[in-house]
Chains A and B, each alone.
Chain A
Amino acid sequence: MSLPGLELTQPSAEREFVAAPPSQINLSPGSEWRFEVAHGTTVRVKLQTGTAELFGTELAPSQTYTFSGTKAAIYTWHGCTLEVSAGDAVTGLDGMPASPAHGGFGAGGCQSEYTAEETPMVEYANIHFALEMLRNEAKATGKDGPRVLILGPEDAGKTSLSKVLTAYAVKVGRQPIVVNLDPTEGMLSVPGTLTATTFRAMLDVEEGWGSSPMSGPSAVPVKLPLVYFYPMTNPLEAEGSVYRPIVSRLALSVMGRMAEDEDARETGIIVDTPGILSQSRAGASEMINHIVTEFSITTILVIGSERLYSLMMKSHDNKPSSSASAAASDERITVVKLSKSGGCVDRDATFMKAVRESQIRTYFFGNPVPSTGSSALSLAASTNVTLSPHAQQLDFNTLNLYNYTTQSAEDEQEEDDYDPAQLTTGDSFLPGGDNDTEWSTQRQSENASSLLLGISSTANKSNPVTAAGNLLVPMKKVPAPAPSALANTLLAITHCAPTSNLAEIRDASTMGFLYVADVDNERGKIRVLAPVGGRVPSRAIIWGKKWPAEVVGLVG
C-alpha cells in the first residue's frame, strides 16, 4: 500500500473511517475560506468566534453546519475562527457509501480547501449598497426598485453573486424577487426549470437557496417558487422559440407580483442567467436583449467577461429601461463590470451531474444530509427532512404527455449532456453495482426509442399542425404506446388543462414533477413517483426527455 501513486487510485479502506481531527481555520478580516466537498461526503463547519457568511448569509455562532456536494466559500468581514471537521458519509445519495476516490485530504476531509485574501466581496457588497440606494429612492418616489441582470460565462460566480445580493437584501429586511433563468441548474426546484421566487426569509446556508414548500415544517423557512419547465440546457434551442416565450411569461408573472406586492416592488428583481448566453453565440445577445426588455432591467452586472461588458456597454449603457415609467422618470440602464472571484472553479460534468441528481432527489426525498445547524434547537439526532413520495401506476393512455421536438442539442454533444462514456469512469453514478446488465439494456432501449422519436418528429414536420396556436411550438403529444425512454426521466405536470393548445402548455407554470420509475409497455402502464399522494392531477404533462437527463436508481 505504500507504493507511490497507489493510494490515489485505491485508497485504503481505513482512510475513510479515520475521521480527520477537527481543524481550526483562522480567517483575517476580508478573507475567505474556500472549500469543496464531494458528493457523498460531508464536512461540518462551526463558527467559533467572529462573524462569517456563506454567500452573504451569516453563519450563526456555535452552530454546526453540514455541507455536502458543494464548492463554496465562507467569507468574513471582521475575521473569524472556523472549526472544520469531517462529517459522516452520506449513504443515502446513491444507495452506496461515499466513493473513496472523493475522499478529501484537506481540513475536515474537504476535497480541497484553502484561504484566500483576495476576494471581490467589497465590490459585491458595494453593489448591494448601490442597490439599496436605488431601493430607498424607489420607496421614496414610488418607482419600482432596481431590476438587476447578472451576466457572465459559466462558472464565473453568477449564482454566487445573486445569492450574496439576495442574502444582503434579505438581511436588511428587503424582499427581492429572484429569477433563475438558467435551466442547467435549478433554484428551489429541479434542473430544467426557470423560476421566480420572492425571498424574505434567510437563505439556507447548507442547502443553497433553501427548500420549496413541503407538507411538514422546515427549519429554515420554505420559499415559494413559481416554476416553469424548460427541458433543455440551451436557451437558444430552436432559435430560442421555446425559451423566449417562457421568459416573457415568467416576466409577466413577476411584473404582476411587483405591481401588487409593495415590498417586492421596492426591492426589485435579481435575474440570474445561464452562462451560455454570455458566449458569443448566434442569438445570444438577442436573447439578452429580450430578457432586458421583458424584465425592464435597470442594472446589468457583467462578471468576468470584458467582451460581454463592452458589448453591453455599447448596446445598453445609459439607454432608457423598458419599464412603462422609464420615459417619465428617465430611468436608464447601468452596466457595471465586476471581477470574477478567484475562488470560482470549473465544475466538471461529473460534479454538475451529481448536483443535478441531488436536486432531483431532494425534490422527491428531501435533503439527505442531516442538517444539524439549521435545526439545532431540537437537536434530535437526525433532523433532516425526509420526504415520502408516492409511487403509483398510471395508465399511459390517460396521460396527456407532450414532448418538445427540438433535436439539435443532442447532436452537438454538449458536455453537460448524457454521455455514456463518462459512466465507465464516473464511479459516483453507477446505480447499485449489481445491475450492470439492466443498465445496458436500458441504454439500448433508450437508443432505440430515440431513434423512433426521430422518425416521429420528422413525420410531425411533414404534417403541419392545424391549430394556429400550435404552429410555432416545437412540441407534440406523445402517442401511445409509452416509449420506454420515459424510464428514469422527469415529467412536469403543468397548471394547464390537458386540452389546451401547445402554446398554452408551453407557457404554463409547473405544478410539480413525476419521476418515471419504469415503463410497462405490454400493459400500457408506467410506474411513477409523485411528490404528493392521491390521483395525479389531470393536466397537460411535459416530458423532460433530454433534460434534466436521466436519473437512474431514484427508486430501488
Chain B
Amino acid sequence: MSSGLASDEVAEDYKNSLEDLTTNDRFQISNLTVIAKENTEHAMAISRVLENHIRITPPAQKLPALYVVDSIVKNVGTPYTLFLGRNMYQTFMNAYTLVDSQTRRKLDEMLKTWKEPVPGSLDTRPVFPPDVTRSIENALIKARTAALQQQQARGQPDVYSRGRVGTPPGWSNTPTPPQNASRYPPTANQPLPNRTGSVNGYPSAGEQIPVRSTPTPQLQHDVDLSTLNQDVEVLIAAARNEFANNPLDPSVQQRLKALLDLQGIMQRQQLTQEQLKLVRDQVSALAPKPAILAPQPASSHTPVTSTPSLATPLVAQSFSQPLQQFLNPGTLAELIKATAARQQPTPPPQIPPVLPQMPLTSSTPQVPSSAPENPLIAALRAKGLLPAASTPPAGAANMASPFPFIVPGQVRYTPPVPTPQTASIGEVQVNVQMNTASIKIPRNMLIASLYDARPNRCGTCGRRFHATEEGKEKKARHLDWHFRTNQRMADAARRAQNRSWYVDERDWIKSREVGDDQVTTETETTNDSAGADGGSSKKGPAKQWIRAPNDATLRNTPCPICQEKFESTWSEDVQDWIWQDAVKVGARVYHASCYAEVTKDGSSQPRRETPSGRTGTPDSVLGKRKAEGSDSPSQNVRIKTEPA
C-alpha cells in the first residue's frame, strides 16, 4: 500500500467495502467485481487488499472474500490473475486451514474451477496459470495424505471422510489432477506435516499412502488438561522471571502476555481434544528453548501485513481460530508451506523467506499477534462488528489486564468499550436555551453528539453511524447504496443524462425523502421516480433487447424514430446475436428508448428486479459470469461486435 495516492484511496475504499461483505451475497460480490473491473489500473493495490482481507477476516467470512477473488479473476482476468496468483498459495492455504470442512469443500470446488477455462469464454487457458493451482492442490493432497497416515497409524476412524464428497473428482484416484500429473509427478519423498510444533522433518514416503480418502488433518489424541495447565504455568513462571530480569525487552513482555492469554483461553474455554493437542504440542515445543525465542525481535521476520491476521479472532463460533492463530506455526498451512516449498521446483516467491523461520519461530508469531490485538478489537467493536464482551479475545485481554506493563504506543489491556460511552453521550440531555447569552457558552459535550456518538464513519462521504447493530445495518445499506450508485454512474456515463422536471406541489407534499440507508428496493424506487418520466427508460441496469433478426432486410432497417441502425452484439448468455435497447412493436423494431420517449407509455418502465439471488450461493460458485445480475443478458460480459 505504498503505491500511488489514488491507489491508496481505492485500496482503502475497497477495504472498507470488503469489510462489509460478511455473507455470500452475490450482489455485493458482483459489486466488488465491478469496482475491481473499473479500477484495473489499481489492480495491484486491490489485489493486496483482497489478500490481506482474506487473511485477517474471520473464518466465516473468508469464503465470501475468496468468492470475490474468484469473481474478479473470472470476470476481469488480467491483471488480477497475475497479482492475485502471486500469493494465491498463501492466501488460499491460510484460509483453507481455518475454515470448517463444509467451507473447505466449497473451496475445493472453487479451486477446481480455477483449473479450467472461464466458462463460456473463448480463452482456453485456465483461470489461473497451472502452477498456481498446482501448488495449492499438491499441498492439499499432502495434507490429506498426512492426516490420513496419522489416522491410520493410530487406527482411528476417519471421521472426516464425508468431507471428500466435494473434492474434485481427479483427486480420488490419483495424487495429482491429471493435467498436472506430467509436470508434477508424485515425489518419492513427501515430508508430512508434523504436529510437534517445529519442522524437523517427517520422513515418510508419501506415495505409499493410499489416497482414497481426504480427511482433514485433525488430530485425535487425548490430552491431559491439567498437565497442560501445569506446563503452561511453568512457562509463565519462567517468562515472568525473564521479564523481571529484562523488563524493557518488548519481546519478553509479549511472550509473557501471549502465555497469559493462552492460559486464559484454556481456563475459559472448553477446548476440544484437537485443540488441546495443538496447545500441548506448542507448549512442549516452547519449553526447551525459551532463551532462543525471547531475544528475537518480533518484527524482523514477521511480515507486517500478516500481523492483523493473527489478531482478528472475531467470532465466538469459531473459537478454534484464535487458538490456531495463536499456534500459527504449528498449523497446517505453515507446515505445508514449508514442505511444499522444499520440494517445489518453482516455489511461490514468498515462501523461501518463510521457510527459514520455521524451526525457530514456534512461538514468535504469536508475539506480534497479541500486541495489536486489543486496539484492533477495540476498533472492530467501535465499528459495531463485535459485541462488547464474551468473545475469547476479550476474555484473553481481560485476563491479562493485571499485567502492568504497556508497550509504548500500544493501548493494550484497557479494552476500550465505546458502546456504553456512546449510549451515555446520546443520552446527554440537550439543554440549551434559545437566547443570546446561552448560545455563547461552549458545550463540548454536545459537540460529541455530532461526532463521537456516531463513531462509525463512511469512508466515502463521511457520513456517521451509531456503533450499534442498527447503525451497522444502516451503514451496510448506505455502502450498498454507494456501490449501486457508482455502478449506475459508470453505466450512466455512457448515456445521455438530463435534469428532470421539478415536481409540482402535490407531488412534493406527498414525496418522502428516503435516505440511502433504507432498504434497497425503496431506495431504488426513489431514485428512479426522482428521475421523472423523460429519461427513465434510458437509465438503470434494465435494458430491453431482442434477438437480432436473421432476415437481412430487417436487419438493415433502421429504427423508425431515430433512423439509426441497430447494432448487433453477441450475448454469451443467450448464445445469440442480440440487439440491445430494442423493442419489437408489431412488425417493426424500435430502439426501446426511442419508443419509450415517443410513446411515453408505461411499458418501458425499467424492470427493477434486483438480482433475486442475494443469498443464493451455490450457482454463484460456478456461474460467476451471471453474477452481474441484470436483465440484459450480455451486459457486463465480454461483447464482441459483429462487423457490419
Contacts and interface: CB of A to CB of B under 8 A. Distances in A.
B500 A376 contact: no
Contacts of B503: 224, 226
A420 interface: no
A363 interface: yes
A218 B485 contact: yes
B12 to A, nearest CB: 6
Contacts of B10: 379
A340 to B, nearest CB: 14
Interface stretch (B57-65, B235-243, B459-467): B459-467
Contacts of A125: 443, 446-447, 450
A126 B459 contact: no
Which among A134, A221, A253, A375 has the greatest number of chain B C-beta atoms within 10 A?
Answer: A221
A214 B434 contact: no
B35 interface: yes
Contacts, number: 256
Given A130-B439, A171-B464, A379-B39, A214 B451 contact: no
Interface in A54-93: 57-64, 77-78
Interface string B411-442: 00000000000000000001111111011111
A62 B35 contact: no
A385 B496 CA distance: 10
From B35, B438, B482, B508, name the one whose CB has the most chain A CB atoms within 10 angstroms. B508
B440 A123 contact: yes
A294 to B, nearest CB: 15
B169 interface: no
Interface in B179-196: none
Contacts of B484: 217
A422 interface: no
Interface string A218-243: 11111011110000000000000000
Interface stretch (A32-40, A155-163, A343-351, A527-535): A527-535
Given A379-B6, A389-B498, A511-B501, A60 B457 contact: yes
B502 A226 contact: yes
Contacts of B534: 215, 532-534
Contact of B436 (A212, A213, A336): A336
Contacts of B42: 379
Nearest to B426: A172
B238 to A, nearest CB: 43
Contacts of A217: 484-485, 488-489, 492, 527, 539
A364 interface: yes
A480 interface: no
A226 B508 contact: yes
- Which one of B432, B439, B486, B495 has the highest number of Cβ atoms from chain A below 10 Å of its Cβ? B439
A386 B493 CA distance: 8
B395 interface: no
B431 A336 contact: no
B536 interface: yes
Contact of B451 (A78, A299, A380, A537): A78
A78 B447 CA distance: 10
A227 B503 CA distance: 8
Contact of B439 (A51, A127, A216, A260): A127
Interface string A376-406: 1111100101111110000000000000000
A509 interface: yes
A61 B578 CA distance: 45
A332 B607 CA distance: 51
Contacts of A509: 502, 504-505, 508
A377 B527 contact: no
B131 interface: no
Contacts of A153: none
Contacts of B513: 175, 198-201, 224, 263
Contact of B442 (A122, A168, A375, A390): A122
A257 interface: yes
What is the interface residue range for chain B against chain A? 35 or more
Contacts of B463: 58, 60, 202
A131 B438 CA distance: 13
Contact of B38 (A261, A334, A380): A380
Contacts of B527: 217, 222
Interface in B492-538: 492-493, 495-505, 508-516, 527, 530-532, 534-536, 538
Contact of A379 (B9, B439, B510): B9
Residue picked from A214, A263, A512, A537, most chain B C-beta under 10 Å: A214
A532 B485 contact: no
A205 B597 CA distance: 34
A77 B445 CA distance: 12
Contacts of A493: 501
Interface in B102-154: none
Contact of A375 (B458, B489, B499): B489
Given A125-B447, A224-B511, A387-B497, A60 B458 contact: yes
A511 B504 contact: yes
Contacts of A388: 496-498
A227 B39 contact: no
Contacts of B512: 261
Nearest to A127: B439
A426 interface: no
B440 A122 contact: yes
Interface in A118-160: 122-123, 125-127, 129-134, 136
Closest 5 CB pairs of A and B: A215-B535, A60-B462, A200-B513, A531-B499, A216-B492
12 contacts: A122-B440, A172-B449, A196-B508, A215-B500, A226-B508, A260-B510, A366-B499, A378-B39, A379-B13, A388-B497, A510-B502, A512-B502
Interface of A: 51, 57-64, 77-78, 122-123, 125-127, 129-134, 136, 168, 171-172, 175, 189, 196, 198-202, 205, 212-222, 224-227, 253, 256-257, 260-261, 263, 299, 334, 336-338, 363-364, 366, 374-380, 383, 385-390, 493, 495, 509-512, 531-534, 537
Interface of B: 6, 8-10, 12-13, 17, 35, 38-39, 42, 430-436, 438-443, 446-447, 449-451, 454, 457-464, 482-490, 492-493, 495-505, 508-516, 527, 530-532, 534-536, 538-539, 597, 600
